Amino acid sequence: MAWHFYEIERSLSRAPVGRIDGAERPRRAEVKALTGLRGVAALLVALYHVNPNLIAPTAAGRFVGKGYLWVDLFFVLSGFLLAMNYAGRFAGGWSLGAWLDFLLHRLARIYPLYLALVVASLAYSLVLYGGLHASAPPPALKLSEPARDVAANLLMVQSWGLGKSIDGVAWSLSTEWAAYLLFPLLVAVALFGRPRAALAAAVGAAVVVSATVTLTMRDGAYHSGPLDAYDGATLEPLLRCLGGFVLGLVTFRLAQSPRAVAVAGHDLTIAAALGLLVSGLAAGVHDLVIYPLFALLVLGLFGNRGYVGRIFACRPVHWLGVVSYSVYLLHPYLVAPRSALDASLQTLLPEPWAGVVTSVAIYAVLLAASALAYHAIEEPGRRWVRQLRGAIPRLPAG
């Protein structure tokens, strides 16, 4: 397979530059269709959690019930996009300066909103319930070992086999943080190693994902499906994330082949992948059968310049992708309000209409709150962390 990563790095280095903390640097590359894909996935995860009433033994109900799998798309997409934007820093090998700079970039992206929600949940529980053992819906907290759990959550290591996430869906952030820490090592094998090393990384990712399925079948806990691993007290979520993340890295290496991108990026290929994905989820096929379609979809939208790519890159879908991180972290807090509002409206409206009105109201609130969180917390927090990075003496990157 032809290896053109350095050519891509040179093209990115010629991208328009912006000023951050008074210094000029290349802007981060964006594929708008992939941003839109992330937004659609975030909304489908929200649908799975906020509307469990829709899960049923029908095609539509099975599709909603497989919503946990969209988190695996996040892992694949994360590996792919981080390879595209940051792997070049490690093309010459590992360096402490490049690694710390990469980690600060990732902290700037994920930590401000995460920290705000963790602190808000702690304050809510302490003020209203007098402790962290409340038997109430989120944001109230019920922690088995508060000192350990709070410390682990603040460090984002809670889902490394330690315990519970204060923000329920943030278990995935904790596992991704582990992938960020390992990023130089993972790209050295998956991107800059020999083709055999990349093949071994792909096989290893498949083995790790399959091992996750085996563990969930034997742990005695409830799972919505074979890959529904989320309990931070086990290593299952960590394995689940690392498998998908490495698959994303390998997919980016495959994206250096013009022929592979041309085939995967054709409208017919992506339409077929989407058709197989939707029909497979609706039919309730095994998670491991669905999984490879995520990599194909990411690779296809990366290379597509046709109708499908334009749909995912159109302004509303792209905007949804921009605020998708807030959608993902905020939606668990609307699970209980949706149920309460639905029950209340059923005393005034017929059941189907009550559900429709409830959903419209709840998702309008979610999107509005996500937009507010993005502009009031995510973006200012990102700028603040980058300013902090600018104030720290830089270590040599090489």
pLDDT in tens, 279-325: 999 999 999 999 999 999 999 999 999 999 999 999 999 999 999 99
Residue 76 lies in domain: 29-391
Does 387 have pLDDT greater than 70?
yes
Q: Is the pLDDT of residue 135 over 90?
A: no
d(CA 219, CA 239): 14
In a domain, 397, yes or no: no
Instruction: Give the residue-averaged pLDDT of 147-156.
Output: 96
Residue 345 belongs to a domain: yes
pLDDT at residue 315 in the model:
97
Total domain count for the chain? 1
Average pLDDT, rounded, for the chain: 90
User: Is residue 226 domain-resident?
Assistant: yes
Q: Average pLDDT of 112-116?
A: 97
pLDDT of residue 351: 84
pLDDT at 14: 32
Asked if the structure places residue 17 within a domain, the reply is no
* pLDDT value of position 39: 98
187 pLDDT more than 50: yes
* Closest C-alpha to 110, from 47, 178, 51, 62: 178
Q: How far is CA 34 from CA 153, 272, 350, in A?
A: 29, 17, 39
> What was the pLDDT predicted at 352?
87
Look at residue 360 and tell me whether its pLDDT is greater than 70. Answer: yes
Say yes or no to pLDDT of 394 above 80: no
pLDDT of residue 388: 77
Is the preceding omega at residue 139 within 30 degrees of 0, hence cis?
A: yes
Residue 12 lies inside a defined structural domain of this protein: no
Q: What is the pLDDT of residue 19?
A: 28
Asked whether residue 371 carries a pLDDT value surpassing 50, the answer given is yes
Asked if the structure places residue 247 within a domain, the reply is yes
Cα dihedral angle (147, 151, 156, 159), rounded to 10 degrees?
A: -30
The string of pLDDT tens digits covering residues 3-28 is 444 344 433 333 333 322 333 333 46
Q: Report whether pLDDT(264) > 80.
A: yes
- Return the half-sphere exposure (C-beta side, CA atoms, 13 A cut-off) of residue 76: 27
Percent of the chain with pLDDT over 70: 90
pLDDT grade for 393, boundaries at 50, 70 and 90? low
DSSP line for 180-208: HHTHHHHHHHHTTS-HHHHHHHHHHHHHH
Answer yes or no: are the C-beta atoms of 31 and 302 closer than 8 Å. yes
pLDDT at 396: 56
- How much is the pLDDT for 5? 42
Does 43 fall in a domain? yes
- pLDDT value at position 395? 56
This prediction has a pTM of 0.91
Residue 6 lies in a domain: no
pLDDT of amino acid 251: 98
